[in-house]
Amino acid sequence: MGINILRFLKGLFNSGAIAEGFVSDIECSYQKYKDAFTGYDPHFYLAQAWLAYMSARGEDIEDAAFKEAASTTTYQFACIPEPDCAKALGIFLLFRQDPDMITEHSYLEEEFNNIMEPVLKAQTTGTVQELYQKFNPKMASEYTGISEEDDDGER
C-alpha cells in the first residue's frame, strides 16, 4: 500500500512515473491471476489482466463479446515469454488509453518494439502459430486441436 501512495505522490510531479505505474499495474494484475490460477498458459493470464483493465474502465466483462475480445486482443502478447508478455500488454494498453504518454516517453515505445520484435518477425514468416504454441501449449491445442501427443501417445 505504501508503494502505491509513494508512486502516486511521485506521479504528481513526473508523468513518467504515471506511465510506469500504469504498466506496473498491468504486470501486477497478470501476476495476481497467475498466483490465483496456477497451471494455465500465459495467454489465460493476459486475457484475465485485460478483462480486469476493461472492468476498471466500467465495461461489462461478462458480455460474451468481451470474453472473445480478451483472447483476440492478447493473442500477440501471448507469443512473448514471461514476464515481458505482461509488460508489452501494459505498454499497449497505455498507448490505447493515452497515446501522448507514449510519445512523451519514447523509451516505452522503444521497449515495446524490442519486446514485440520476435512476433513481428513471426508474422512476416508465417510462424506466429508456432511461436504461440511454444509459450501456450495447452491453449494452442484447444484452439487448433493440436495435442502434445498424438493418438498413439507419441510426439
Task: Dig out the grid coordinates for 132 from the structure.
Answer: 504461440
Prediction pTM value = 0.82
Task: For residue 93, tell me if it sits in a domain.
Answer: yes
Say if CB 127 and CB 118 are below 8 A apart. no
Distance, CA of 87 to CA of 93 (rounded, Å)? 10
Say if CB 146 and CB 140 are below 8 A apart. yes
What is the tens place of the pLDDT at every residue in 95-142? Answer: 999 998 888 888 999 999 999 999 999 999 999 999 999 999 999 887
What is the tens place of the pLDDT at every residue in 72-103? Answer: 999 999 999 999 999 999 999 999 999 988 88
**Which phi and psi (to 5°) does residue 58 adopt?**
90, 10
What domain count does the chain have? Answer: 1
**Which phi and psi (to 5°) does residue 149 adopt?**
-130, 145
Task: For residue 34, tell me if it sits in a domain.
Answer: yes
Which structural domain range is residue 55 located in?
A: 2-144
Task: For residue 46, tell me if it sits in a domain.
Answer: yes
Task: Dig out the grid coordinates for 73 from the structure.
Answer: 486482443
**Which residues have a Cβ under 8 Å from the Cβ of 147 and sit 6 or more positions away?**
141
